[in-house]
Structure 1
Amino acid sequence: MNLEDLSSVSALQALSKLLSSPEEEEDDLDQVSYPSSAVGALSPGNIGPAKKEESKVNPPNHTENRKDIWDPEEVPEGLEFDDMWDPREQPEYDIIFKQQVGAEDVFLGMTRKDPSTACCEDLLVKIKLPGTKTSDVALDIHEKILDLRTPKHKLLLHLPHPVDSKTGKASFITETETLEVVLTMKREFDFINFF
């Protein structure tokens, strides 16, 4: 048997009959047989039983007569804080990962910490706010969002990791006019973050 015999229409139909079950063979009688000149119309998708149209089922949490344009799950987190028409400028900022290390980590390597961000516990966000007083700063921290407002600046920052919004610390350094916010990350317990 050569390769040309395997690619003929009759060979594909015979292969289809071998792969189909006896119940499906009864359904095959309703199918249209392909003429021998329709070799170009056949593809691997034609092997096996005919596919029936699947009915689309609405997810159980959706109601059909809702007037909402989208579901709350479809709206990105933090969009309620964003105001694209706000003319205030976005300040410069840096996100720095911090980890707490001791002598047992640096010299002995007892806790298996390395310099990667996977071993970091805290996020340090440095925000440069030139011409701003401490009393003008409004800071709001959520699990994945940092929202900062001053009379001259606006910053809506999506954080790279979820943080504990209740244990953060902020300090304003007047010499450099920089706000430093330290946030503890919520990390999954693994062999590195076991505390």
Structure 2
Amino acid sequence: MELPLSEFSSAGSLEALCSLLYPSIEEDVEESSCRGPPSSATVGPGNIGPSLSPEPSTVPSTENMIDKKSIWNDFEVTEGAEFDDTLDLREQPKYEILFKQQIGTEDMFLGMTRKDTSTACCDQMVIRIQLPGIKASEVSLQVRNRYLDLRTPQHKLGLHLPHPVDAKNGKAKFVSDTETLDVCLTMVRDLDFINFF
């Protein structure tokens, strides 16, 4: 049995159709809540049934890490911030960060490992620092997991490293011909043993 189109054009029948498609919990719902999703929204299997309230995000509590007598706590201070000194007027030397990776014939010709030319596949970081007019004996260098601190009588460099490194097993080489210091550090990433071997 077909109903004429004029029976569905009244406001009451549209509200009844809307209440069938989008049932509400309360009976006295305003007309605006019966309009349903916006016209640009797509309806899929996730729209069937009552809407789920989002789960509250679990933020790790810092109450156990807080020392009430301290001005600030360790987790609030970035590594290397203790070396920042705005009153030190020594100039910052020019530097560049290079990435190295060790590959073998199985990588180069056979492609047996998943290494490619991106920095994600590199295993060493080289920081090349230009120190004109400086001798190797005048350089003071300290490396932490994510911070490099270099001091000379004329220069000061506090560098936050882009990746965590193995601070205990780095190498530094001063090249007197070019007056540069090359600091070679091994990067430490948690999933390298899964991704590249």
TM-score, length of structure 2 as denominator length:
0.68
**SS of equivalent to 1:80:** helix
Show the counterpart of 1:94. Answer: 96
Show the counterpart of 1:83. Answer: 85
Q: Which shifted more, 174-183 or 78-87?
A: 78-87
Which of 177, 183, 194 in structure 2 is aligned with 1:175?
177
How far residue 189 of structure 1 moved from its aligned partner, in angstroms, is 2.9
Cα separation, partners in 2 of 1:178 and 1:6, compared to 1, 3 Å: farther
Which of 156, 162, 165 in structure 1 is aligned with 2:164?
162
- Which structure 2 residue ranges, 5 or more long, are not aligned? 1-7, 37-60
- Which structure 1 residue ranges, 5 or more long, are not aligned? 26-32, 45-58
Across the aligned residues of Structure 1 and Structure 2, the Cα RMSD in angstroms comes to 3.8
Contact 2:67 2:73 in 1 (8 A): no
How far residue 148 of structure 1 moved from its aligned partner, in angstroms, is 0.5
**SS of equivalent to 2:157:** strand
Amino acid in structure 1 at the alignment position of 2:173: S
CA–CA distance in 2 between the matches of 1:162 and 1:5? Answer: 66
TM-score, length of structure 1 as denominator length:
0.68
Deviations 1:114-147 (CA, angstroms, capped at 9, x unpaired): 1111111100110000111100100001000011
Identity %: 51
Which of 106, 109, 112 in structure 2 is aligned with 1:110?
112
How far residue 84 of structure 1 moved from its aligned partner, in angstroms, is 1.4
Contact 2:114 2:196 in 1 (8 A): no
Q: Which shifted more, 132-141 or 73-82?
A: 73-82
How far residue 86 of structure 1 moved from its aligned partner, in angstroms, is 0.7
CA–CA distance in 1 between the matches of 2:173 and 2:142? Answer: 14
CA–CA distance in 2 between the matches of 1:113 and 1:60? Answer: 39
CA–CA distance in 2 between the matches of 1:95 and 1:170? Answer: 14
Cα separation, partners in 2 of 1:137 and 1:67, compared to 1, 3 Å: same
CA–CA distance in 2 between the matches of 1:143 and 1:134? Answer: 23
How far residue 66 of structure 1 moved from its aligned partner, in angstroms, is 2.9
Deviations 1:44-64 (CA, angstroms, capped at 9, x unpaired): 9xxxxxxxxxxxxxx561699
CA–CA distance in 2 between the matches of 1:88 and 1:6? Answer: 80
Amino acid in structure 1 at the alignment position of 2:164: P
Amino acid in structure 1 at the alignment position of 2:192: F
